Structure 1
Amino acid sequence: MNKRTKRWVLAGGGAAAVTVIVAGVLVLWPGDDPVAEKKPDRVAPGVVAQRFFTALASGQAGQAAALTDAADAAGAVIARTQQGMPGATFHAQLGRLPQVTDDATTTEVDADVTWTLPGGVPLKHAAKLGLRLADDQWRVRWSPAVLHPQLAEGQSLAYTTTSADGALVDRTGQPVPPGFAPVVLDSVRQAVGALNGTPGWQVSVVDQAGVAVAVLQEQKAQAAKSVTVTLDPKTQAAAQVAVDQVGGQAAMLVALQPSTGEILAVAQNAATGNDPLALYGHYEPGSTFKVVTATAALTGGLATADTPVACPGKATIGTRQITNDDSFELGTVPLHRAFAASCNTSFSQLAADMPATALPQAAAYFGLTSDFTVAGITTNTGKIPPAESVPARVEAGIGQGEMQATPFGMALVAATVANGRTPVPQLIREIPTEGQAPAALPGGVANALRSMMGEVVTGGTARELAGYGGVRGKTGTAQFGDGTQSHGWFIGYRGDLAFAVLVVNGGSSKVAVAATGTFLGGL
């Protein structure tokens, strides 16, 4: 190797050495001494304690955890506690700050800690914050007990509240949803008033799954009672669909439980307006009133269900001419057959032969002359005055003239047949209805009416309902005004469900029967 070649190799080796030193973050220049990177100043333990508590108070979990000797573990627990104590504020009052010697490696700081809970309630405890030197810096010695002395590994704090408000619930025990049964719910809420209680709260030690393992402090809730409306969600929904499908005419439906009198549904369509006419609107009941007329005949000794009665297509009775629907005629048939076919001429003649007070007395059995005060709603049942003249009784016997009834009242009529006695209606279980139940139907009358109302469905004017399982009822077409317009009615029951359907100016009972089919089909 010659000298020139040797000098190049040495120079190359020198260049390589400099490169390594630069990569090591220390550069040697001629005449300089090596300078090490400056270490940060050691912060006093008392200052570290102050910074730690300040970070906790400001909700900075990461900053607080970075001041400990176990940042990852501390950060997780501090974050869980902050999330578990919503609305609570943290404050720590430090005691005397420690004076440490240069060779000290551990120390402690006393503090009075207060969690101020929502509502200003304090949760206090005394804390002893340990600190130790780690990497030549003072660090908070991490333990969950730093946050509360009863916390162990994997545990955190949680603040929870307990609602004490009562609720308005339906008969199934579920809270009444918005928009449910608007015909009655506004007045029900006025009747029951506020259902607010005093809520409770609890501060607990919880495990990583959020399960409470110890209660640190609590306030018991002072609960308000819930109030139950007797409405049944399924029945109410079916009733609303039934009246809504009617369309342009005002339609309403009232359903109740014959065995208890509890109101199960009150529904009206948009054409009815905002007033709860289903509960107190008076309308001519038409042929549905033949239930009352038949009862007056049965209890007055004028007829039994099998007594033959004439059913001509037309008849002049007193000064009134009475016509059957489409002038149909049956000749002479048993009373139950005239009832099923809704023979106006038969029932007008029966009423003409009765005393003036016979129909009001019979109506009383069905609650149509009763005065019930049902909590949460205003109700009327009917206006059934004595018919002093024969013409008045002729019209009254088929639910015309001065006879008036409400859908609510006619639902009670159906319930009376089903139950044998008018049940006392009720809407709010906790508030009894004022008013007395009428006397029970006399012996044998209820069974006779049940059979007659069954025949209406199996072979009479409501045969369209025969497929809905054990329905018994009575149709009604009620003329009003100048006699050229008619309401459509159907009243009836199935099992422990009684109901009345009215379509105002519906033209005939057919539209009410169709709505009844929709109602029963939705149950």
Structure 2
Amino acid sequence: MRRASTVLAGAAVPALLLAGCSAPWSHSPTDKFLDAVNDGDWTAAADQTTDPDAAGRWLADLDDSTGDTTLHLSADDGSTTATWTVPAGDEVTTDGTLTTGDGGKVTWTPAVFSDQLGDSDTVTYADDRTWDVPVTDIRNASQMSWTPVTVVSATKEADLQAVADAVRPAIPDFDTQDAASQIRNAGDGAVTLFSLRPEDAGKVADALADIPGVSTREEGRLLSGRETRSPLDGDLRDYWDQQLDKSVGWTLATSAGDVLGHKDPGTTDPVHTTMDLGVQGAAQRALDAEQRPAAIVAISPSTGGVVAAAQNGAADDQGTPAMTGLFPPGSTFKTVTTSAALGKGTVHPDDTVACPASTEVDGRVIPNDHDFDLGDVPMHTAFAQSCNTTQAMISRDLDPADLKNTAARLGLGVDFTAPGMTSVTGSVPETGQGAARVESAIGQGQVVASPFGLALMEASVANGGRMVTPSVIQGQKTTSDQHPDPLDPTVVEELRSMMRETVTSGTARSLSDIPGLGGKTGTAEVDGGAAHGWFVGTVGDLAFCTFIAGADSSEPAVDLSGRFLRDGALSQYTAGVAE
């Protein structure tokens, strides 16, 4: 219940004034009661009744039972009119009766607000929604649907080890220590422990029912399938809620079941996403075999639609790192550094460049991974073999904003507002000559990116160097805070040739059996921990990023990418791709 923001026109003068029982300038208990009710001051309103305790409890409960419904009460000669404005803006009026007792105070009864209310009744509000509106993928397959769930709660009386034993068939890793901490913090209240899908509830319901201090209730939720869950599920659920809000119906009733007002819900169209459950499932299958936090994001370069966004359980514990986690991108950022140098004309693919085991540039010593030394090689070879030392040296000829601007042309560092999707791409600073520039050139220092951001970078490369605008809801417009010019087409062609060489004979050659695949590996050093592993690439109409936290090299990410790309579910995107 919210305070009414305006006084309705034509509100009657209180009965006691009209009856002449007091002078026009007096303020009777009835006046004070009406004013307090219309101000939402329940304590002050209750004080003007013959039973302040009962009135106070009833009015306080009204907040919980009617939510954001507002109330305005007027009186005229012993009759009242209550105007209830529900959240959708529709109004319901009810007629009640107001009498006074000792000292002119309002005789307390719920009938003051409606003659349909008995002494033990209250008013309730409920949204009426078309809960069965589905979320479907790009092939019109059901992606998320309204599903009954059993919510399990516990108080401090519950034996949590008994709970763990009871739910082991459904939740083998139930954390009793975490549950105990939550219950301690709740004091005497109950704490929600977990929710169970119907197939799991059936396995454990009987065992839970025998444990004191444990209770269950039935609810409904919009859920995806276990095998196709996504870090985007929460955002898609919020978008779905917003669509239902536009056509919501409602019921205002007494707690005894008498309907005071009602409106049927309107029609809501299904929510159609750009995702492909086949590709999403392939990503999830590949990830579920990895114990370290890991994620895969895939985007269609031709449409900008997110095809898949997946992460494993270890990543789930960190939130949504696939879409919003920021990590040093390591050598995957050489895509940007090389593009900037090619665009500036300071290096060309066939130019001979040095790739020593280590080099000192502007006071910063940069080594190659495991100190490999290629000597003098063509630039395209240095890229394919991921020479840190080469990248450090070519970065010296760049201007302070070159890396930042080139990254933005590929979507990295650009902020997008897309219905149904919360994302962060990354951040690339401007750097003058010195250690910061050298570190940025190899994806370290202050450069950070999300798996989503690097997938978008690859999609933009595959889109001819023109920044792809990402989306996840079909037909909905995405906006961005930047609109950069595309890369030079010649630069894009040269870059993609180097990415292909990375797969055919470079650091990702274990994937050389995948026709048309081009990509870039990345190992990113982390202070005080194992290095992160990356692989980004494009094949057919699919651009993707694979990330594994603490992998210690790029090889696990390359292997994980192979499991994903070789899954038959991707044939729609990779079929017919030339070598």
Mapped partners of 1:372, 1:252: distance in 2:
20
Question: Where in structure 2 are there 5+ consecutive unaligned residues?
Answer: 1-129, 145-223, 250-263, 571-579
Mapped partners of 2:402, 2:248: distance in 1:
57
Which position in structure 2 is the counterpart of 1:173?
A: 140
Secondary structure of residue in 1 paired with 2:459:
helix
Verify the 8 A CA contact 2:456 2:468 in the aligned structure 1.
yes
Secondary structure of residue in 2 paired with 1:355:
coil
The residue type paired with residue 279 of structure 1 is M
The TM-score normalised by the length of structure 1 is 0.62
Mapped partners of 1:361, 1:493: distance in 2:
22
Which position in structure 2 is the counterpart of 1:19?
A: none
Verify the 8 A CA contact 1:165 1:223 in the aligned structure 2.
no
The TM-score normalised by the length of structure 2 is 0.56
Secondary structure of residue in 2 paired with 1:487:
strand
- The 5-angstrom pairing of residues 94-113 of structure 1 reads none
Q: Give the CA deviation at 1:494.
A: 0.4
Which residue of 303, 309, 312 maps to 1:260? Answer: 303
Verify the 8 A CA contact 1:415 1:499 in the aligned structure 2.
yes
Which residue of 281, 285, 296 maps to 2:340? Answer: 296
Which residue of 521, 527, 540 maps to 1:475? Answer: 521
Structure 2 vs 1, CA of residues 165 and 465 (structure 1 numbering), >3 Å: closer, same or farther?
A: same
Question: Where in structure 1 are there 5+ consecutive unaligned residues?
Answer: 1-162, 200-219
Verify the 8 A CA contact 1:230 1:262 in the aligned structure 2.
yes
Verify the 8 A CA contact 2:421 2:471 in the aligned structure 1.
no
User: Does residue 503 of the first structure (1) align with residue 515 of the second (2)?
Assistant: no
Mapped partners of 2:238, 2:388: distance in 1:
44
Q: Give the CA deviation at 1:495.
A: 0.5
Q: Give the CA deviation at 1:189.
A: 1.4
User: Does residue 457 of the first structure (1) align with residue 503 of the second (2)?
Assistant: yes
The residue type paired with residue 386 of structure 2 is S
Secondary structure of residue in 1 paired with 2:500:
helix
Verify the 8 A CA contact 2:364 2:434 in the aligned structure 1.
no
Which position in structure 2 is the counterpart of 1:155?
A: none
Q: Give the CA deviation at 1:260.
A: 0.7
- The 5-angstrom pairing of residues 273-284 of structure 1 reads 273-274=316-317, 275-284=319-328
The residue type paired with residue 458 of structure 1 is T
Verify the 8 A CA contact 2:455 2:543 in the aligned structure 1.
yes
Mapped partners of 2:472, 2:444: distance in 1:
30
Q: Give the CA deviation at 1:353.
A: 2.8
Which residue of 467, 471, 483 maps to 1:422? Answer: 467
User: What is the aligned length?
Assistant: 339
Mapped partners of 1:361, 1:240: distance in 2:
34
For residues 217-270 of structure 1, what are the alpha-carbon distances to aligned partners after superposition, in whole Å with 9 as ceiling and x for unaligned? xxx9963211111110111001111221222x1001100100110000011111
For residues 265-285 of structure 1, what are the alpha-carbon distances to aligned partners after superposition, in whole Å with 9 as ceiling and x for unaligned? 011111112411111111000
Which position in structure 2 is the counterpart of 1:107?
A: none
Which residue of 482, 486, 490 maps to 1:440? Answer: 486
Which position in structure 2 is the counterpart of 1:395?
A: 439
Verify the 8 A CA contact 2:296 2:544 in the aligned structure 1.
yes
RMSD: 2.0
Mapped partners of 1:324, 1:221: distance in 2:
63
Mapped partners of 1:290, 1:231: distance in 2:
29
Point out the structure with max Rg over C-alpha.
1
Mapped partners of 2:242, 2:428: distance in 1:
39
Mapped partners of 2:266, 2:326: distance in 1:
45
- The 5-angstrom pairing of residues 57-456 of structure 1 reads 166-177=133-144, 178-179=224-225, 180-193=228-241, 223-247=267-291, 249-274=292-317, 275-420=319-464, 421-435=466-480, 437-456=483-502
Deviates more, 1:388-397 or 1:332-341: 388-397
State the identity %. 41
Mapped partners of 1:222, 1:388: distance in 2:
59
The residue type paired with residue 536 of structure 2 is I
Q: Give the CA deviation at 1:187.
A: 1.6
Verify the 8 A CA contact 1:166 1:223 in the aligned structure 2.
no
Verify the 8 A CA contact 1:424 1:433 in the aligned structure 2.
yes
Verify the 8 A CA contact 1:167 1:195 in the aligned structure 2.
no
The residue type paired with residue 449 of structure 1 is L
Q: Give the CA deviation at 1:164.
A: 10
Secondary structure of residue in 1 paired with 2:143:
coil
Structure 2 vs 1, CA of residues 238 and 164 (structure 1 numbering), >3 Å: closer, same or farther?
A: closer
Mapped partners of 1:443, 1:502: distance in 2:
28
Mapped partners of 2:339, 2:514: distance in 1:
26
Secondary structure of residue in 2 paired with 1:444:
helix
Secondary structure of residue in 2 paired with 1:322:
strand
Q: Give the CA deviation at 1:369.
A: 2.2
Q: List structure 1 runs of 4+ shifted beyond 3 angstroms.
A: 163-166, 194-199, 220-223
Mapped partners of 1:402, 1:469: distance in 2:
35
Secondary structure of residue in 1 paired with 2:405:
helix
Which position in structure 1 is the counterpart of 2:536?
A: 491
The residue type paired with residue 498 of structure 1 is A
